[in-house]
Structure 1
Amino acid sequence: MYSKNWQILLSSFLMFGFTMATPVVNAVELQVGIIQRFGEETEDKLTISSTEGDNLNLRFREQDNDGNTSIRNLTTNQVTLTISPKTLEQPKIEEKVILGDHATFETAEDDANRWRNLGIEVEITQPGRWQVWAKRDVYNTPLLKRLLLQSIQNSEIEGVYIETEVLLDIPTVAFSVNGSSFTVDYLDILTSKNLVRVKEGDEGTTRLYGGRLNIQPNAYGNYTLVNRVDIETYLRGVVPHEIGPNAPRAAAEAQTIIARTYALRNTRRFEADNYQMCATTHCQVYYGLGQTSNLSDRAIASTRGLVLTYDNELVDALYFSTSGGITSSFSDTWNGEDRPYLQPVIDAPNPLWDLEKQPLNLEANFQRFISLDSGFNEVGRRLFRWNRSRNLNDLKSDLRKYLERIRHPLAEFATIKNMEVTQRSISGRILVMEVETDLGIITLEKNEVRSAFEPPVSTLFYLEPIYTSDNQLDGYRFIGGGFGHGVGLSQFGSYSLANRGYSAQQILEFYYPSATIQPLNNAIVWWQQANE
């Protein structure tokens, strides 16, 4: 006799035409960092409470005056966590060897693989932007850090540096229960109903989460609130916010399958911080169970356990808002090997453009393509086409902020003389843009263009100079289409296809050619490191 979950699972597989020859995986717990930098400010506060008729069980380590550690368990229905700085007897010096600084995890991971191939052990972190650090538990003394830095500099590799911080105190997590006060560096919070409420600060939104919570140290000297939650429950807090609560059913089902796939393939993202995923657009938006939708819940139930694969490995299930009429290859946006199932696709139900005969890396073809405004899946969407202007002073301010953030040697330039797209991909995405300044030419590659300037919301655009009445350069007009990186599934495109009668399977076949839907099972590889 099947349990209720297995009955749902079985009916899902039959609906999509699957058999159950290989044992399926029925439950996966995710570790999601829902508040990533608790303690970054001494005023930080979290209020955690149980639901009606339930209690919080707090479990933590406690140390007595002799240094002996024991596990304590306390019960309450609400606890307020604050930050209590602990003054150090002696100043502590924290040092990290920064090997790379990147806008996205994908490019940081490619950089990390490059360092590994050179024999250097690394870890990927996210103190703000994504960074590659020399692994702290390997290069764990000032001497080893400096020997590594000297070796790299002798190889004439630029952009590597040691970041030093002197600590006078460290944050600890403080709370009180039944009149007793405690300070801890780790706290486990469980409830009988597997439901818990979290409010950040005094004015923050109270969110309801399934599963249990941990407060734990991260790599940046503060703490992360981690939600340990079953993946199907997790999806209830993702799908309605990513695809929208009123999406067509097939679009919601397609989104659910790729959101499940994305989460499982990306469990390595925050390995340096000892959890797996974040709850923001750097991963997938996750708001817990306070704003679920019936439509999304039905999509989750009907696709339970289904994932998208290629060659029996989970695909890189990337998706975005709006393509602008064409999706792109992985390498159009990030560094790293292309994926066979992530290739340029004209985002239209009927043939509108022959990419082989009219490749969009030719500027004339590209500008003609951007002028088209009918027949595509996303026509009528606000960011399908856009035209934004910015004057030279604002462009200079944008670029200088970006260059200072990445420690670029030309960050102190005074004027922009010219901006030009010098290389595009077949899909029209910018691969290289050059900015001529009084100090020299600054080369921006791929997604760096979006990081460096405010106007573009995708890399699918061209530049048009703006001149003053006396023919002096005054700024640039950014003329383009789409919103996001353009790789994988277009969410608004999936709306259109669903409304035309496409099934979830047909939508995924459209955006991920050659990929296959199948039930998650023990034979599927979640992810394998490049060059291993």
Structure 2
Amino acid sequence: MVIRLLRPASCFVLVGSFAIGGVVPVTHAQAPQDVELQIGIIQRFGDKGAKDKLTLQALPGDQLTIKIPANEGKVQTLTTNTLTLEIALQPLPKPRVEEKVIFSTHRSFETAEEQALEWRKRGIEVEIAQPDRWQVWAKRSVYKTPTVRRMLLQNLQAQGIQTAQIETQTLQEVPRATFVVGGLKYTRDRLEISSGKGIIQVDRDKDDAPNRTFAGSLKLQPNAYGTYSLVNLVNLETYLRGVVPYEIGTGAPKAAMEAQAILARTYVLRNLRRFGIDNYQLCATTQCQVYFGLNGVTTATDQAIATTRGLVLTYKNELVDALYSSTSGGVTAPFHEVWRGTERPYLVGKVDSVNGLWNLMERPLADENNLREFLKLTKGFNESEESGYFRWKVEASLEKVTQDLQKYLKSIRHPLAGFKTIKDMQVVERSRVGRVMKMAVQTDLGFVVLEKDDVLLAFESPNSMLFYFDPILEKPRKLKGYTFVGGGLGHAVGLSQFGSYHLGKQGYGYDRILSFYFPGTQIQPLNASIAFYREPTKP
């Protein structure tokens, strides 16, 4: 599958074919930088039942226009200043059984997508979902009946695959979205909401955050989890106004803001396929990019977006995987050492310093003694201790690490999920840049092997995969817990945001910052020849 912009006589059209999660929506725009996006700003409205409440409001002097699909293709139109959406639990005439086949659960979309591709190579149709953690499901439109689902599971078990499971729930009632306009109460599953000024304020009662203001229009629609998603339809450059201030910060150097704007633009266009299962494109959290609307815009961040308008980062005329994280811990990581998937030549592991601080060829961090020495260093990196997570140390009790691992193993239906005690933990394999690639945990029932980012899914204590640990012992050598010592926050693939701060202060322009973290790439104006995403080819 290849997604790219095609240019007919007078407009750009984003063309997509079937992605793992469903059809990539077709987007029309008059210019490439005006591509309309569909962002799930509230992914699961109704997940708290009747306690959930959502208020949408027009600006003073403006009105909301609400369009409700009616019978025979007709549309009912209402107007109001404020729309309050609530959840009513509607009893079903008789209990309804819903079930799905879950193949795997993951910490990241990247790993889930790679696993989905592996299932497809076996001839099994799948879709990627995010009910909480990322999951790979058997495609519900293909495996429609209980008999077909059980035949699939039996076939997999005959091949020795035991991790797939059928999740079944019996529903007595379902959440329905309700609202009142003009004294009349409506219960509807789909709404289109716009305003005359193109600005809508959104407030969800259960959120601690203040009201957020979004440009464009909104849609309320059902999702794959029996609740609703509130989707913001917004053009690309306006969307970036709600991303850049929150991702890089309003006090960042100018060049760091500009580099962030280019990466955020590249990231969203490459990842339009993520939420095909829910009929939108991207979320608004750290699982995608943080997008909080127009509340945080500043002159400086708007200027960074305007300066780089339409610019994207490419490798061989394809948008790069424009990954970034808060803090690398002094050394970045290659894509394939963090997630399962094909290597990206431009996402390399390198010391996050321009000072020749450490030679990875001579002193690879795969050697734990080298790693321990490396993590003692605090000066000379692009990052510093100001990040808060550049260097960290966390003590975890044996009870804590045991509970973490039990919870994880139960979630993936691991055969050793019923273990009682952790006896020992060892790093079996570490990458050249020090990341934990494979970890073995000895329990009273046997060994559990964790690989790559599954380590962070299994244990809450490490802040990144760049760490070592030591046992905490009581006399006479009774295991009490573990001390985790490491560096960085997040995956450390691609750009370090705190590193870009330093480089910007040192006089680097956005082009040099991006060249440092994404070697071999090119900055280009968005155009019809650039592929947004190419699905890896089957071997």
**TM-score, with structure 1 as normaliser:** 0.93
Q: Please give the per-residue CA displacement for 1:466-504, whole angstroms capped at 9, x wherever unaligned.
A: 211333222211111111101000000000111111000
**Separation (CA, whole Å) in 1 of partners of 2:191 and 2:118:** 37
Secondary structure of 1:26's counterpart equals helix
2:56 corresponds to: 48
2:500 corresponds to: 494
1:59-458 equivalences under 5 Å are 59-62=67-70, 70-201=74-205, 204=208, 205-381=210-386, 382-458=388-464
Give the letter aligned to residue 84 of structure 1.
A
1:462 to 463, 468, 472: 468
Cα deviation for residue 398 of structure 1 reads 2.0
**Separation (CA, whole Å) in 1 of partners of 2:166 and 2:227:** 20
Cα deviation for residue 203 of structure 1 reads 6.6
Asked if the contact 1:248–1:499 (Cα under 8 Å) also holds between the matched residues in 2, the reply is yes
**Separation (CA, whole Å) in 1 of partners of 2:302 and 2:511:** 18
Asked if the contact 2:106–2:457 (Cα under 8 Å) also holds between the matched residues in 1, the reply is no
Secondary structure of 2:87's counterpart equals strand
Asked if the contact 1:175–1:183 (Cα under 8 Å) also holds between the matched residues in 2, the reply is yes
**Separation (CA, whole Å) in 1 of partners of 2:261 and 2:73:** 44
Asked if the contact 2:439–2:455 (Cα under 8 Å) also holds between the matched residues in 1, the reply is yes
Cα deviation for residue 120 of structure 1 reads 0.8
1:35 corresponds to: 42
**Separation (CA, whole Å) in 1 of partners of 2:118 and 2:133:** 19
**Separation (CA, whole Å) in 1 of partners of 2:475 and 2:160:** 47
Over 3 Å counting, the alpha-carbon distance change for 1:37 and 1:371 in structure 2 is: same
1:26 corresponds to: 33
**Separation (CA, whole Å) in 2 of partners of 1:28 and 1:507:** 26
Secondary structure of 1:526's counterpart equals strand
User: Structure 1 residue 57 and structure 2 residue 65: aligned?
Assistant: yes
Over 3 Å counting, the alpha-carbon distance change for 1:26 and 1:294 in structure 2 is: same
Give the letter aligned to residue 99 of structure 2.
E
Give the letter aligned to residue 449 of structure 1.
V
Give the letter aligned to residue 309 of structure 2.
R
Asked if the contact 1:256–1:300 (Cα under 8 Å) also holds between the matched residues in 2, the reply is yes
**Separation (CA, whole Å) in 2 of partners of 1:379 and 1:179:** 58
Cα deviation for residue 24 of structure 1 reads 6.3
Asked if the contact 1:34–1:225 (Cα under 8 Å) also holds between the matched residues in 2, the reply is yes
Asked if the contact 2:105–2:411 (Cα under 8 Å) also holds between the matched residues in 1, the reply is no
Give the letter aligned to residue 398 of structure 2.
L
Q: Point out 4+ residue stretches in structure 1 off by more than 3 angstroms.
A: none
Quote the RMSD (CA, aligned, Å). Answer: 1.4
Q: Please give the per-residue CA displacement for 1:76-118, whole angstroms capped at 9, x wherever unaligned.
A: 1111111122222222211111111111100000000001111
**Separation (CA, whole Å) in 2 of partners of 1:408 and 1:357:** 40
**TM-score, with structure 2 as normaliser:** 0.92
Asked if the contact 2:33–2:237 (Cα under 8 Å) also holds between the matched residues in 1, the reply is no
Secondary structure of 2:229's counterpart equals strand
Q: Please give the per-residue CA displacement for 1:170-204, whole angstroms capped at 9, x wherever unaligned.
A: 22211111111111110000112110011102775
Secondary structure of 1:527's counterpart equals strand
Cα deviation for residue 408 of structure 1 reads 2.1
Q: Please give the per-residue CA displacement for 1:118-154, whole angstroms capped at 9, x wherever unaligned.
A: 1111100001111111111111112221221122122
Cα deviation for residue 401 of structure 1 reads 2.1
Give the letter aligned to residue 441 of structure 1.
F
Cα deviation for residue 59 of structure 1 reads 0.3
Secondary structure of 2:394's counterpart equals strand
Cα deviation for residue 256 of structure 1 reads 0.7
Cα deviation for residue 210 of structure 1 reads 0.4
- In terms of mean alpha carbon deviation, does 440-449 or 485-494 score higher? 440-449
1:7 corresponds to: none
Give the letter aligned to residue 308 of structure 1.
L
Aligned length: 506
Over 3 Å counting, the alpha-carbon distance change for 1:171 and 1:62 in structure 2 is: farther
Give the letter aligned to residue 264 of structure 2.
A
Give the letter aligned to residue 404 of structure 2.
D
Give the letter aligned to residue 59 of structure 1.
K
Secondary structure of 1:208's counterpart equals strand
Give the letter aligned to residue 75 of structure 2.
I
**Separation (CA, whole Å) in 1 of partners of 2:476 and 2:450:** 30
**Separation (CA, whole Å) in 1 of partners of 2:40 and 2:305:** 22
**Separation (CA, whole Å) in 2 of partners of 1:277 and 1:488:** 20
Cα deviation for residue 355 of structure 1 reads 1.4
**Separation (CA, whole Å) in 2 of partners of 1:505 and 1:38:** 40
Over 3 Å counting, the alpha-carbon distance change for 1:84 and 1:24 in structure 2 is: closer
Asked if the contact 2:33–2:309 (Cα under 8 Å) also holds between the matched residues in 1, the reply is no
Asked if the contact 2:33–2:236 (Cα under 8 Å) also holds between the matched residues in 1, the reply is no
Asked if the contact 2:328–2:352 (Cα under 8 Å) also holds between the matched residues in 1, the reply is yes
**Separation (CA, whole Å) in 2 of partners of 1:139 and 1:33:** 27
**Separation (CA, whole Å) in 2 of partners of 1:470 and 1:370:** 30
Secondary structure of 1:351's counterpart equals coil
Secondary structure of 1:42's counterpart equals helix
**Separation (CA, whole Å) in 2 of partners of 1:465 and 1:239:** 41
Cα deviation for residue 75 of structure 1 reads 0.8
**Separation (CA, whole Å) in 2 of partners of 1:30 and 1:104:** 22
**Separation (CA, whole Å) in 2 of partners of 1:192 and 1:529:** 40
Give the letter aligned to residue 457 of structure 1.
N
Q: Please give the per-residue CA displacement for 1:230-281, whole angstroms capped at 9, x wherever unaligned.
A: 1111111111111011000000100110011111111111000000111111
**Separation (CA, whole Å) in 1 of partners of 2:376 and 2:266:** 35
1:6 corresponds to: none
Q: Please give the per-residue CA displacement for 1:299-331, whole angstroms capped at 9, x wherever unaligned.
A: 001001111000100000000011111001101
1:521 corresponds to: 527
